[in-house]
Amino acid sequence: MPIEFACQVCKQQIRVPDGNEGKRTKCPHCSAVQPIPGGAPPSGGNLFSDPNPYNPPADQSSSLFPDSVTAPPAGESNPFASPYASSSSSAYSMSGGFEEAKKKVAIPAIVCMSLLGIILALMLLGLVANVVMIAANNNNIQRDPAELIGNLIGSGLVIAFNAFTLFSLYNAVQLRNYALAWTGFILALLPCSSSLCCIFVMPFAIWGMVVISDAEVQRQFQG
């Protein structure tokens, strides 16, 4: 009469011919080596000399399931993790740092640009008014031509200087060029660019220089 018993690993029924008691056989379902009940195990100190012959050794049971995956030790990278996870998190942190640095620089830079923009508009109006007065003079008032030309050239240089300061401050707001950002805040301190508003521009220009001196903000500049 054939011997039937359950596999201790996959729980499937195993049938072997009679007379094989105490021997070992391989499960046709999971290929696990199982002792055949009904007889004493062979001597020699083999793997099945355990008092409970139905419990396979720990190393054997672990070898039967090679697909089981344990968690990697702490400090080691997970080989099954998505390769895009770390890159996306680092990109997010970089984006957040750029926006934060941009907000820090924007406040003093925009205030300086607003005050310098008002001064530039007044200078342009003054230059246009001088040109109109010279054109409408009709030689009623004699003025030295060299003086007129000097005034026009001086006004043009101051306007160009002010415009370059605004351009440099705009680069600071956009975090484009670190050298131009420094140039804009330094030029905003000079009376030739801020004129009578230098008292109001100076605190914000100094504030801007302190902000862009920060190492975290400096790293966010594109050039």
What is the tens place of the pLDDT at every residue in 147-200? 777 877 888 888 888 889 999 999 999 898 999 999 999 988 887 766 667 788
107 and 213 belong to one structural domain: yes
User: Is this prediction's pTM over 0.75?
Assistant: no
55 and 105 belong to one structural domain: no
Q: Where are the alpha helices (DSSP H) in 11-82?
A: 58-63
User: 103 vs 73, 110, 182, CA distance in Å?
Assistant: 41, 11, 17
106 and 215 belong to one structural domain: yes
215 and 106 belong to one structural domain: yes
102 and 208 belong to one structural domain: yes
Distance CA 145, CA 151 (A): 10
pLDDT average, residue stretch 98-110? 90
The residue from 14, 46, 63 where one domain ends is: 63
User: Is residue 50 predicted with pLDDT exceeding 80?
Assistant: no
| CA distance between the termini of the chain | 88
Q: Where are the alpha helices (DSSP H) in the chain?
A: 58-63, 83-135, 145-173, 178-189, 191-194, 198-212, 215-219
Q: What is the pLDDT of residue 20?
A: 76
Q: Which residue has the higher pLDDT, 91 or 39?
A: 39
Residue 88 lies in a domain: no
Residue type, 18: D
The residue from 63, 84, 113 where one domain ends is: 63
The parent domain of residue 153 ranges over 96-219
Q: Which residue has the higher pLDDT, 57 or 123?
A: 123
The answer to which of 5-9, 39-43, 187-191, 200-204 has the lowest mean pLDDT is 39-43
User: Is residue 69 predicted with pLDDT exceeding 60?
Assistant: no
Q: What is the pLDDT of residue 96?
A: 66
Q: Tokens 């160009």 map to which residue?
A: 160
Q: What is the pLDDT of residue 24?
A: 81
- Mean pLDDT in the chain? 74
Q: Which residue has the higher pLDDT, 75 or 159?
A: 159
User: What domain count does the chain have?
Assistant: 2
In percent, how much of the chain has pLDDT > 90? 16
Q: What is the pLDDT of residue 76?
A: 52
126 and 171 belong to one structural domain: yes
